[in-house]
Amino acid sequence: MIYIVAQRILAGTLAALLTGCSTVPRVPADGLYDGELCTAVGSGPLNCGAADVFLAKDRAKVRVSDLVYDLTMEDGQVEVTLVHGRTLVDVWSGSFVWDAPYLKFIDAERRTFYRVRFADTALGPIPGQRLD
Q: Is residue 63 part of a domain?
A: yes
Which of 76, 71, 94 shows the shortest CA–CA distance to 6?
A: 76
Q: Is residue 14 part of a domain?
A: yes
Please give the residue that has the higher pLDDT: either 21 or 124.
Answer: 124
Q: How many H-runs (helices) and E-runs (strands) does the chain carry?
A: 1, 8
Q: Could you list the residue range(s) of the whole structural domain that residue 99 is in?
A: 2-118
Q: Is residue 130 part of a domain?
A: no
Determine the pLDDT at residue 132: 35
Q: Is residue 126 part of a domain?
A: no
pTM: predicted TM-score of the whole model, two decimal places: 0.73
Q: Which residues pair with 21 in a beta bridge?
A: none
- The count of structural domains within the chain is 1
Q: Is residue 34 part of a domain?
A: yes
Neighbour-count burial for 88-108, b at 16+ CB within 10 Å, e otherwise: eeeeeebbbbbbeebbbbbbe
Beta carbons of 53 and 60 less than 8 angstroms apart = yes
> Tell me, what CATH number does 39's domain have?
2.40.128
pLDDT in tens, 4-27: 433 444 344 444 444 444 445 578
pLDDT in tens, 22-55: 445 578 888 898 999 999 999 999 999 999 999 9
Does the pLDDT at position 86 exceed 80? Answer: yes
Q: Is residue 82 part of a domain?
A: yes
Please give the residue that has the higher pLDDT: either 28 or 67.
Answer: 67
